[in-house]
Copies of this chain bind each other. A is one copy, B any other.
Amino acid sequence: MYATILAGGVGTRLWPRSRQDRPKQFADITGDGVTMIQDTARRLAGLVPEERIYIVTGAAYAGLAIEQLPGVPASQILVEPTGRNTAPAIGLACMHLQRSDPTGVLAILPADHVILDGAGFRAALRRAAQVAANGYLVTLGIEPTFAHTGYGYIKRSQLIDDVDHLPAFHVERFLEKPTRTLAESFLVEGGYYWNGGIFVSRVDRMLAEIERQTPEMYARLQTIAAALDTPAAADVLAAEWRHMPSISIDYAVMEHAERVAVVPLQAGWNDVGSWDALETVLEQDERGNSIAKGEVLLLDSHNNIVYSDKRLVALINVSNLVVVDTGDTLLIGDKANMQRVKEVVEKLRAQGRTELL
């Protein structure tokens, strides 16, 4: 089994810890001393050794990837000339694997998700690999815990089989981010999962679907593949990438693929989409405070989330705050409004304060 970790994103939702020069996947967001991409790689221990991991990222982050995951061969850190969404990134990894192990099974993983139950995750991934070996494109379907309107959903159909209480289902269809009402109906009806962007497939099956559904992308990937190991490799990659469609693997492949399966995942998955999400992945003290990192002294303060690089944080009679203390910036917000971090970033960008982005 192989893994491709998608690490090209530059999110602003976890600013000021996530920065242009060190996006969240290369930062320690949960305060455990390990960056998110390191967590992602370590989570595969016993299932995918580091020498079988591929990382797709931007040129600006290749150095961080090498530094943070020294066990991954440098030749497997694949640099996208520009971001083209997930489908080309996955295609690029498949092109590389096609040469050495075209029937190998590949797990595709975002670099910036938290999964609390590593063993549960590995069991689901192992199960997905078995199903993928039989020719399915498998997605891990995250058991929804509430009517989230920020994720796409996957609707299962018939059971394929159940091994050791780990079922795999055919997929009826993929659904885009729903309205609140629709999301609520999904939960009532049952059989729906959040689409967390974790996929498992044989390399040849994935490439065959890309060829069938997006022949232009496939042709460009083939051109890139033909130039690999030649002096022109980088130039060919750059030239093809310039015209590569920017498209997600969901749209490009999964939604209309043949033989698609879903393996349910119940393992404390969280994409840490905003600072308040830390609350669901950290332990709380008896007053509901979540201390990701830092020394905190509390007087009558409840339900706060604190991340401090190194300074003492003293809180007096405050509640429901998010406090993020970094080297050059201090962010304090109401927990219910942390998605507005994007507005802060936009304001700073408009002011030309790029050093803070």
Chain A positions within 8 Å of B, measured between CB atoms, are 16, 297, 299-300, 308, 311-318, 321, 323, 325, 328-334, 336-338, 340-341, 343-344, 347-348, 353, 356
Contacts and interface: CB of A to CB of B under 8 A. Distances in A.
A332 B316 contact: yes
Given A321-B332, A325-B330, A330-B330, A344 B311 contact: no
Nearest to A347: B297
Contacts of A356: 312
B316 A318 contact: no
B318 A333 contact: yes
A340 B336 CA distance: 27
A332 B314 contact: yes
A72 to B, nearest CB: 35
B311 A328 contact: yes
14 contacts: A16-B314, A297-B347, A299-B343, A299-B344, A311-B328, A311-B329, A312-B353, A313-B332, A314-B344, A315-B332, A315-B333, A316-B340, A316-B344, A317-B333
A239 B347 CA distance: 63
Nearest to A310: B328
Contacts of A338: 316
A348 B313 CA distance: 12
Contacts of A347: 297
B333 A308 contact: no
A300 to B, nearest CB: 8
Nearest to A343: B299
A308 B328 CA distance: 11
A334 B318 contact: yes
A316 B337 contact: yes
Given A16-B314, A312-B356, 19 more contacts: A297-B344, A297-B347, A299-B337, A299-B344, A311-B329, A311-B330, A312-B328, A312-B330, A312-B353, A313-B332, A314-B329, A314-B332, A314-B333, A315-B332, A316-B341, A317-B336, A318-B332, A323-B330, A323-B332
A248 B225 CA distance: 88
Contact of A316 (B312, B325, B334, B353): B334
A316 B299 contact: no
Contacts of A316: 331-334, 337-338, 340-341, 344
A347 B314 CA distance: 11
B317 A334 contact: yes
Contacts of A308: 330
A253 B329 CA distance: 51
Contacts of A315: 332-333
A334 B330 CA distance: 17
Nearest to A356: B312
